[in-house]
Structure 1
Amino acid sequence: MAKTRSFTVIVYKEEDMYIAECPEIGTVDQGETIEQAIAGLTQATRLYLEELPVPEASPRYVTSIEVGYA
């Protein structure tokens, strides 16, 4: 039976491509849409985990902050 684990995904746009990153593993992929970027990242992460052990880490919590500046 395959193991399943949840990871953090950060998606941002650079020029005309979406970049998806998994900070816990260090994998990155890109796509023309957010969905394509995440699908590519999922595949890249799966391939990475087939070769190397899963790093143990505590869950990450993602939020936003508001900063005033001049």
Structure 2
Amino acid sequence: MKQTKQLTIIIEREGDGYVSLCPELDIASQGDTVEEAKSNLIEALELFFETANNSEIERRLNNEVFVQQVEVKIG
């Protein structure tokens, strides 16, 4: 049975498409839709884990990623 790992993804609109980023590994992808950007990033992450050795995974993996929304004054 394959292992799984919970990771964070951030998807932003960029021009006519979307860019997706996994901040824990600093791996990004893109797509024409939110779902396509998400799917492409998952594929890129799975490929990374299939091909990277343990030392590269350890070196790149940042387990302390905090995603929060803040309120700031703009006027």
The size of the alignment, in residue pairs, is 70
Query: 1:60 — aligned with what?
Result: 65
Query: 1:32 — aligned with what?
Result: 32
Cα deviation per residue 1:38-69 (whole Å; 9 max; x = unaligned)?
00000000000112234354453422001003
**Root mean square deviation of aligned Cα:** 1.6
Q: Give identity over the alignment, percent.
A: 31
Aligned equivalents of 1:58, 1:43: Cα separation in 2: 20
Query: 2:42 — aligned with what?
Result: 42
Point out where structure 2 has 5 or more consecutive residues left out of the alignment: none
Aligned equivalents of 1:25, 1:59: Cα separation in 2: 11
Point out where structure 1 has 5 or more consecutive residues left out of the alignment: none
Aligned equivalents of 1:36, 1:7: Cα separation in 2: 17
Report the TM-score when normalising by structure 2: 0.80
- Bigger helix share: 2
Deviates more, 1:58-67 or 1:16-25: 58-67
